[in-house]
Amino acid sequence: MEKFNPQIPVRYGLIAFAFILTLGLMMYVFYQSVITNFAMLGTIFVFAFALVLFLAIWSGISYRRENGGVISFGHAFLAVFIVFVFNAVANPTAQLLINKVIDTQYAEKASSLLKEKMSDYFDNHNVPEEKAKEAMKDMGPEKFDPPLMKQMKTLAYTLAFFAVISAIVAAFIKRGSGDLIASGIQPEPIKTI
């Protein structure tokens, strides 16, 4: 069996990393508009996930095509999962870059803006004060600048989620392909009774 060549997935992974990092920095620049508009925030997350999923699938398809249309499940999984790993690492990288280098007051400003928006929403919809306080108790600066251990835990959960998606995508990419990567050895003829 041929050795896995990470060149194609790393290329698509770097594209995903650059996209997510750029998106994170743009969301920081326009945070006053993004944080206060939950529909736009949801749309951005769905669009980002769709693009990264497309890049991961395309990485697996390109890897299969580069190997003559033959791919093993393990190679298909790695070709997809590597793109997701780059994506998963980009988000905490953007958070650390924003909070530790660009603007150390960002978490404070963003959390106060979010609390203000949520309190206005609760006032307009006559939500009881107890429920409003309960809903806003986790909206402190830690939401925008979580401790390193929480970021690592989130990264681990994200990678586990992406591993499941990678396995599903790899099963589709491998479908119709031989079980083994071509090794240059002629296969033996099939013996029949």
Instruction: Extract the tokens encoding 156.
Output: 């681990």
Whole-number pLDDT of residue 6:
86
Whole-number pLDDT of residue 184:
56
C-alpha distance from residue 120 to each of 84, 106, 127, 135 (Å):
37, 21, 10, 13
Instruction: Extract the tokens encoding 15.
Output: 């594209």
Whole-number pLDDT of residue 180:
47
32 closest CA partner among 105, 104, 114: 114
Q: Are 88 and 159 in contact (CB under 8 A)?
A: yes
Whole-number pLDDT of residue 85:
94
Cβ count within 10 A of residue 36: 16
Q: Are 136 and 116 in contact (CB under 8 A)?
A: no
- Which residues of the chain register pLDDT less than 70? 1, 125, 127, 132-133, 135-136, 138, 140-141, 176-193
Residues whose CB falls within 8 Å of the CB of residue 88, separated by 6 or more in sequence, listed in order: 155, 158, 159, 162
Residues whose CB falls within 8 Å of the CB of residue 160, separated by 6 or more in sequence, listed in order: none
